[in-house]
Structure 1
Amino acid sequence: MRVDVVPTPDGPLRVSDGRLVDAGTGVLRGVWAPAVRASVALPGGRTLLLAAGAAGPRRFDLAAGEELPPVTDPAEVWDVAAAGTVLAGAGPTGLHRWDAGTGRRLGPVALLGPPLRAITAVPRPGGGITLIACDATTLYRWDATTGASLLPPQPTAATSLTGLAPAPSLRPALIGYDASGVEHRWDID
């Protein structure tokens, strides 16, 4: 049985076998079968849980305990991240962005064509959020709000990246994991 912990504005949730449990109190908060990958706090206090899917990202309203309608103009995504109110998905046709609350697509159909395996969102010093995604060997960066590319693709020493996350440290860093479980670190800048 796999247990994930997903941070939310109201504290972390333990996610196991479709059960959404408050990690601090043990209280059941809801039931939703998809594997939750991220959460987003919307204006007005709503918290959405986000999951990847073959028919596009899926959204679950935690307070209402119900799944929201599908996103418009869906695309298969293997991983999702929240960047402010932007829902970003990485999948076989590249990076896609939607408004997390309405499910409406933002910008063109895909910002990049090659298959992307993982995605994360990282705040930038001075404001803004960077979306960082990877294929097996390269990192890509975009401005979350505009979709503009921030830097050229960056080849890495990794040969089979499968996951990305901001590093829990004072200095902004990115952690990547490859298929063999090896951890890779990069300076965010």
Structure 2
Amino acid sequence: MILIRHGQSEFNVHFAETRTDPGIRDPKLTELGRQQIAAGAAFIKAHHGDRVKRIITSPYTRTLQSAEIIADALNLPVMIDPMVGEQAYFTCDIGTPTTMLRSQWPLLDFLNLAEEWWPLGEEEHHVDLRAAHFRDRMAADQAWPETIVVSHWGFIRSLTGHRVKNAAILHLDPTQPHPNGAEVVCVPDL
């Protein structure tokens, strides 16, 4: 399966400069973040072409925007799964209520998503357990080689052991024991 971290968000810009939480709830992508994801989508299209069939994304705005760019480039359906969401640690990890997400993305299915779906605080070992459960679920899903997962730094780290930059792309074989089976294959140079 292909993992991609969302592109640069408004939070990422401020945090990189100050190393403090700027208090931005569920931030959007920056223009650079959109460019990073477009470059990532082009890489996936060039190297995986018709092999990918679906996108699973976290319901945070930055991942939904990233998934939308990839879906448009590859003509793929998008499925929402809060299991691949970020570790709840900063203000940016407070999500947007489902009714608001539904109005922003009316073509996506938010039916199984609670109105307030984000965790209110999460220890690292909880994210590790969530990642292990997702890895096991994907290993049992025959469609895992055809899947793109759009997620976050903390979740990808728990899932693969890799600390990745914005829009980094990894291959992950979920049938391999953790932390094996993952390799970074592209980091858009923008």
Query: Is the TM-score greater than 0.5?
Result: no
Instruction: Return the structure number with greater relative CO, CA threshold 8 A, min gap 6.
Output: 2
**Structure with the higher strand share, 1 or 2:** 1
TM-score (norm 1): 0.30
- Larger CA Rg, structure 1 vs 2: 1
**Structure with the higher helix share, 1 or 2:** 2
